[in-house]
């Protein structure tokens, strides 16, 4: 389907988000041109839109986005809006689903997917576990979802790619044309051949902490289950686990002594043993 530049432009407004954008569309009866032309006072009548978001909408440069669309397309970026049939149904079902996804690679919404995440500084054993999980789960017909971070994420992606039929999706906190971390650029390129990179931010955006945290709901939202291989109780992977719990996903924590893993088991995560016997239920 053709992409509406106004929808894309609005989806890039800071803090607007998919839920508020859909409320904006409803308020203006689908007329996004009217929304962009509206006064701040009129915009603030839309539920959830305050002065900062209204100012962001008023500052939208629609012509800039219209000019960027063909450039993004030439760079291999595909745009999938919330209304598109290619938008993944599990992600569409979450309360704060992104309004727009920017994708590079072989985009195929998987029928079954498992997220594998964890610390950027894992033990050698945890690296091995993440790679074996990525391989075994793809061999059983699951796609692997992770976040392209150093450590566990990268190992999970590599494990998926080591399977002849493996497919993996990396959800980014930067733009799909601005890979973060830069150490994983070669891995990102490999993923585009046997999977896809996906983000909700501007395709050229640099990584920022809010976006890196927000992408955790994409990781869990794209998945049927989430596995934490190793994390501390203060680790970033805990964000993904909490979002998975909120979204009603199955959460597994690998059986080790990491403080985050033990905390997750206390929160209700299922224990994943060293022989992976729980994979039969995933």
Give the pLDDT of residue 282: 84
DSSP string across 40-76: HHHHTTSTT--HHHHHHHHT--HHHHHHHHHHHHHTT
Domain parsing of the chain, residue ranges: 1-74, 113-281
Specify the CATH number of the domain 1-74: 1.10.150
Partners of 103 in beta bridges: 78, 198
Q: Where are the alpha helices (DSSP H) in the chain?
A: 5-11, 17-27, 32-37, 40-43, 51-58, 62-74, 89-92, 124-139, 152-161, 185-194, 209-214, 216-221, 237-246, 259-267
Give the pLDDT of residue 1: 56
Tokens of 150: 């150093």
Give the pLDDT of residue 90: 94
Q: Would you identify the CATH topology of the domain 113-281? A: Rossmann fold (3.40.50)
The pLDDT tens digits for 220-244 are: 999 999 999 999 999 999 999 999 9
For the chain, list residues with pLDDT below 70.
1
Give the pLDDT of residue 2: 81
């Amino acid at each position: 389907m053709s992409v509406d530049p106004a929808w894309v432009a609005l989806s890039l407004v800071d803090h607007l988000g998919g839920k508020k954008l859909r409320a904006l569309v409803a308020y203006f009866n689908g007329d996004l041109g009217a929304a962009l032309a509206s006064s701040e006072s009129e915009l603030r009548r839309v539920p959830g839109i305050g002065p900062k978001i209204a100012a962001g909408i008023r500052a939208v440069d629609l012509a800039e986005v219209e000019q960027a669309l063909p450039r993004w397309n030439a760079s291999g970026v595909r745009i999938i809006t919330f209304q598109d049939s290619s938008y993944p149904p599990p992600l569409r079902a979450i309360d704060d689903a992104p309004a727009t996804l920017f994708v590079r690679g072989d985009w195929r919404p998987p029928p079954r997917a498992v997220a594998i995440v964890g610390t950027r500084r894992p033990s050698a054993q945890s690296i091995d576990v993440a790679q074996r999980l990525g391989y075994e789960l793809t061999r059983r017909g699951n796609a692997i979802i992770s976040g392209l971070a150093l450590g566990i994420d990268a190992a999970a992606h590599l494990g998926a790619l080591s399977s002849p039929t493996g497919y993996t999706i990396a959800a980014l906190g930067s733009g799909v044309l601005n890979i973060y971390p830069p150490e994983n650029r070669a891995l990102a390129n490999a993923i585009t051949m046997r999977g896809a990179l996906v983000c909700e931010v501007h395709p050229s955006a640099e990584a920022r902490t809010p976006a890196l945290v927000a992408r955790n709901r994409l990781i869990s939202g794209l998945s049927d289950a989430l596995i934490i291989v190793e994390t501390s109780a203060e680790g970033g992977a805990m964000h993904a686990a909490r979002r998975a719990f909120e979204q009603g996903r199955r959460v597994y924590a690998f059986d080790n002594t990491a403080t985050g893993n033990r905390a997750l088991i206390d929160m209700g995560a299922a224990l994943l043993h060293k022989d992976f016997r729980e994979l039969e239920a995933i």
